[in-house]
Amino acid sequence: VHQWRGVIAEYADRLPAELSQQVVTLREGGTPLIPAEHLSELTGAQVHLKYEGLNPTGSFKDRGMTAAISAAAARGAKAVLCASTGNTSASAAAYAAKAGMTCGVLVPDGHIAMGKLSQAVAHGATLLQVAGNFDQCLVVARELSEKYPIELVNSVNPARIEGQKTASFEVVDALGDAPDIHCLPVGNAGNITAYWQGYREYADPAAPGANGQAAATGTPAMWGFQAAGAAPIVLGHPVEEPDTIATAIRIGNPASWQRAEAARDESGGLIDMVTDEEILDAHRLLSSREGVFVEPASAASVAGLLKMHAAGRVPAGATIVCTVTGHGLKDTQWALKGADGDDVEPTRVPVDPDGIAAALGLA
């Protein structure tokens, strides 16, 4: 009997040896790459969704967190800390619980989805709502980790990037080669950094674990998308008061800003922005046509792809992967709104087959 062992065990030879010393895993990774027929038809490309909501805590953060917590465990750390818009805190809390470490999380006051808050609490983290936004939380978290014996597990921790790069390996392993284009949402910009590193290493015969043989013939163009109200990289300057309904990417001064620009430029890609309306349209399309339920920030990748298609920038027949980063159950309020923005109310029916048949449009 074989089950997926988690990203460190599956890709050990491609990762720093220190990660394998004391592995803390919830068997993250191994997520499906789902062909998206409706999106393919709309764009004239072959579109696939890398559904990262199916990780143990419901987001891609688990790939990086197994690495960060395993590295911390190998160093004998007893306490970890992160700043978060929600998913990192949920993941850090779960992996710290598994490792028997204490976990502190700093989240911006308000603007964090209830599903994510409930995870951090359930896993026993000390949850602190800071009177500030995510960028301010990260500044304080960095200071704390320098002054006190507590390890920072944000994506400025190099182990996080190592773990998250495995998503690119899985895409190439599933497709048999790199896609032409890879779309993803950009917040603090760790993930676009990690994907680009993973793609480069898989195309490089001299990379760790490659044994002189490249696993892919090339690398994709990296297409990153920020929310229009939180688009510092697109605008070329930090955004003091970032705002978007996609709270996961409500970030005005990304820690990996330069590395995101490098990924864009080295890959021949782009970083653009999408409005909240475009994000919610893509969110509805994913739910209603592709059967894939995501949180709003995740839909930014698909919203961006559709925006680029409308601008005539999607080559016909291209192989495209959109990462959808987090599960829809994280932040359910948007699913309960119709396209008009009104709350969707269930239709009430009596216990009566004929009445129900009428409500179903059968009679």
Q: Which residues are annotated as a binding site for pyridoxal 5'-phosphate?
A: 87, 187-191, 325
185 binds ligand F0G (CB under 6 A): yes
Residue 357's contacts (CB-CB under 8 Å, 6 or more residues apart) are 363
325 binds ligand F0G (CB under 6 A): yes
DSSP 305-319: HHHHHHTT-S-TT-E
Options 120, 172, 189, 303; binder of ligand F0G; rule CB under 6 A: 189
The CA-atom distances, in angstroms, between 78 and each of 97, 136, 138, 151 are 11, 25, 20, 9
CB of 119 vs ligand F0G, minimal distance in Å: 11
Q: Among candidates 276, 293, 275, which has minimal Cα distance to 284?
A: 293
Task: State the Cα–Cα distance between residues 307 and 278, nearest whole angstrom.
Answer: 8
162 binds ligand F0G (CB under 6 A): no
- Which range in 2-10, 144-152, 173-181, 185-193 contacts ligand F0G by CB under 6 A? 185-193
248 binds ligand F0G (CB under 6 A): yes
CB of 288 vs ligand F0G, minimal distance in Å: 20
CB of 249 vs ligand F0G, minimal distance in Å: 5
Burial 131-141 (b: 16+ CB within 10 A, else e): eebbbbbbeeb
Which is closer to ligand F0G, CB of 85 or CB of 166?
Answer: 85
**Parallel, antiparallel, or unpaired: how do β-strands 126-130 and 221-227 relate?**
unpaired
> Whose structure tokens read 């495995």?
166
Options 66, 191, 219, 253; binder of ligand F0G; rule CB under 6 A: 191
- x-marked contacts with ligand F0G along 294-313 as a string, rule CB under 6 A: -x-xx---------------
Provide the β-strand partners of residue 9: none
CB of 83 vs ligand F0G, minimal distance in Å: 7
- Which range in 29-37, 118-126, 183-191, 204-212 contacts ligand F0G by CB under 6 A? 183-191
166 binds ligand F0G (CB under 6 A): no
Provide the β-strand partners of residue 103: 80
46 binds ligand F0G (CB under 6 A): no
Which is closer to ligand F0G, CB of 151 or CB of 295?
Answer: 295
CB of 268 vs ligand F0G, minimal distance in Å: 20
Strand order in the sheet with 46-51: 33-35, 46-51, 319-324, 181-185, 221-227, 270-274
- x-marked contacts with ligand F0G along 207-246 as a string, rule CB under 6 A: ----------------------------------------
Options 65, 71, 161, 186; binder of ligand F0G; rule CB under 6 A: 186
Residue 81: how many other CB atoms lie within 10 Å:
25
With CB under 6 A, what is the number of residues at the site for ligand F0G?
Answer: 22
Feature table: binding site: 87, 187-191, 325
CB of 302 vs ligand F0G, minimal distance in Å: 12
DSSP 223-284: EEEEETTB-HHHHTS--SS---S-GGG--SS-TTHHHHHHHHHHHT-EEEEE-HHHHHHHHH
Task: State the Cα–Cα distance between residues 329 and 113, nearest whole angstrom.
Answer: 10
- x-marked contacts with ligand F0G along 84-103 as a string, rule CB under 6 A: xxxxx---------------
Residue 273's contacts (CB-CB under 8 Å, 6 or more residues apart) are 225, 226, 227, 228, 231, 234
3-state SS assignment for residue 287: helix
Binding site for ligand F0G (CB under 6 A): 59, 61, 84-88, 155, 185-191, 248-249, 295, 297-298, 325-326
